[in-house]
Structure 1
Amino acid sequence: MKIFLLGGTKDSINIIKHIKENYNAHILTTTTTEYGAKLAREGGSDETIAKPLLKNEIMEILTKGHFDLLIDATHPFASHITQTSVSIKNELEMPYIRFERPTTNFENMDTSHIRYVNSFDEAGKLIKDEFHEGNVLHFAGANTMEDVLKYVPSERFYPRILKVESSLEKCEKLNVDPNHIIPMTGAATKEENLELIEKYGACVMITKESGEIGGVIEKIEAANEKDIAVIMIQRPKIDNLNKNDIVSNLDELDIKLNTFFKK
């Protein structure tokens, strides 16, 4: 079984480990960064590509490499690549699985501090209009900073990002003070979030609705305790994505895999 895996998430690493332990499979994982490719290799991926790929490049690799299955395990907010993967699946008529982590379960949680918006542009406007004092913790990655900084002064802006070259270059381009950059190594605990709120005098944090694996619950719990707002960007909708192609855990992945292949 030859699998082409669109990765770059913690989910994708779990998928690689699970497939390599349970199936006779060769996996090529693509990520947008060398850091992501390194994690994929450590997880057991046979091959990696560490750069963004265009649709035609992916299609060429799939056809020339005679791949049996396309798995999209990219971030819930990487809507462009998921839209591309759906298009490729339809054009090549090949087996396809979209691994999409479940949305966060907010039952029995105090959600009164959450303000929902549909984009980072909306988040920036909301802060400009309603949060005039205190600093902004940006817990949503380097690629989303620009839309917020159209409305929020950089001296109030504290992003938590991977300290990789591409992210640092974005910070420099957007005039983000290097002393404001908070290094990220994984999802933060509630205690770590509490420390950051206190240390940086935050009045609001920005996050994506990226699921429990993304540490959303720990962010909300910390915000509740410190009585600050959480601006949460809701997940984008993907056109033409068939709900029958979506799995949300490894058990569901196994059911799909066994419809395509024998162990």
Structure 2
Amino acid sequence: MSELQSQVLVIGGTSDAIVEITSLLKQGYRVLHSRFSDAITLETPDSPMLKERFGALDTDGFVELIKKENIDQVVDAAHPFAEQVHVSAEIAACQCNIPYRRILRPDLQGLDRYSHIREVSSHDEAAQLCTQLGGTVLATIGSRNIHCYQSSLHKNGQILFARVLDDPQSVNACLQCGIPSDRIIQGRGPFSVADNLNHITLSGARIVVTKDSGEQGGIYQKIEAAQRAGCLIIIIKRPSV
């Protein structure tokens, strides 16, 4: 099969995926873009060589898709914290005997210049540190794990603000775990330093919690805004997977 006929599966609803898709299309590949949902708007290239699908897949799902669509290689550009996606996609590619390539975001640089950063390895550890430090918390970690923060902070008498996507699923996840609507900040990145600073001021946060999603995830803007606001920032390190 020639490169012009080859079809590549690109995984992920990220800016990294768009970069890979654009490059592959320019090289003459056909591309199937697979991502969890269309909640995040991406500027995908307009090309007859590009197809898109939505929905979560486990290993068996990826294997079925690879065989059905005659995929020749897999490019994994999923979010750094999408651990199960990375594992499932790599296993599926191995089972189908096709190449698998993972897109890795560069490590954070220059963190030793800041004294207001605390790094942890998990959401549970971050929530525990928040209770130890005390004060109002602004969580910018999405809605999937927000419940563990609300549970811990509520018991400790602390206030939690959550910044999440402006879609019903994300907002409902916050409401269902007990975060009132006036403590839910809805929006879509990328957020500037000024945006982050405004949200910190609005919430009165002493602590900002974020995941290390790299430069593409706006981590440096959060770090700078937290420093200007005089509050701590807890960074959850990327999974080793």
TM-score if structure 2 supplies the norm length?
0.89
For residue 72 of structure 1, the aligned residue among 76, 98, 107 is 76
CA apart distance, 1:144 = 2.1
Structure 1 residues 137-193: Cα deviation after superposition (integer angstroms, max 9, x where no partner):
111111121222231129711111111232122122212212222122212111111
The answer to whether the aligner puts 1:227 opposite 2:225 as a matched pair is no
SS of aligned partner of 1:80: helix
CA apart distance, 1:39 = 2.3
Q: State the Cα RMSD in Å.
A: 1.9
State the AA in 1 paired with 2:65.
Answer: I
**Does the aligned pair in 1 maintain the 2:147–2:174 contact within 8 Å?**
no
Q: 1:187 to 1:40 in 2, by over 3 A?
A: closer
The answer to whether the aligner puts 1:179 opposite 2:182 as a matched pair is yes
Higher relative contact order, chain-length normalized (CA < 8 Å, sep 6+): 1
In structure 2, list runs of 5 or more residues that go unmatched.
1-5
Alpha-carbon distance in 2 for matches of 1:84, 1:61: 12
| Alignment correspondent of 2:138 | 137
Percentage identity across paired residues of the two chains:
27
SS of aligned partner of 1:76: coil
- Deviation larger for 215-224 or 47-56: 47-56
In structure 1, list runs of 5 or more residues that go unmatched.
239-263
**Does the aligned pair in 2 maintain the 1:34–1:50 contact within 8 Å?**
yes
Query: Once superposed, which parts of structure 1, at least 4 consecutive aligned residues long, lie more than 6 Å away?
Result: none
State the AA in 2 paired with 1:116.
Answer: E
| Alignment correspondent of 2:12 | 7
Structure 1 residues 208-231: Cα deviation after superposition (integer angstroms, max 9, x where no partner):
111111111111111111110001
State the AA in 1 paired with 2:202.
Answer: K
**Does the aligned pair in 1 maintain the 2:131–2:152 contact within 8 Å?**
yes
| Alignment correspondent of 1:52 | 56
Q: How does 1:1-263 map to 2 (within 5 A)?
A: 1-20=6-25, 22-36=26-40, 39=42, 41=44, 46-106=50-110, 110-131=113-134, 133=135, 135-153=136-154, 156-238=159-241
Alpha-carbon distance in 2 for matches of 1:182, 1:13: 27
Alpha-carbon distance in 2 for matches of 1:16, 1:35: 19
Q: How many residues align?
A: 233
**Does the aligned pair in 1 maintain the 2:206–2:232 contact within 8 Å?**
yes
State the AA in 2 paired with 1:149.
Answer: Q
Alpha-carbon distance in 2 for matches of 1:43, 1:136: 41
Q: 1:40 to 1:72 in 2, by over 3 A?
A: farther
CA apart distance, 1:19 = 2.1
Q: 1:94 to 1:126 in 2, by over 3 A?
A: same
TM-score if structure 1 supplies the norm length?
0.82
**Does the aligned pair in 2 maintain the 1:155–1:176 contact within 8 Å?**
no
CA apart distance, 1:14 = 2.0
Structure (1 or 2) with the greater helix fraction: 1
Alpha-carbon distance in 1 for matches of 2:168, 2:35: 15
State the AA in 1 paired with 2:162.
Answer: P
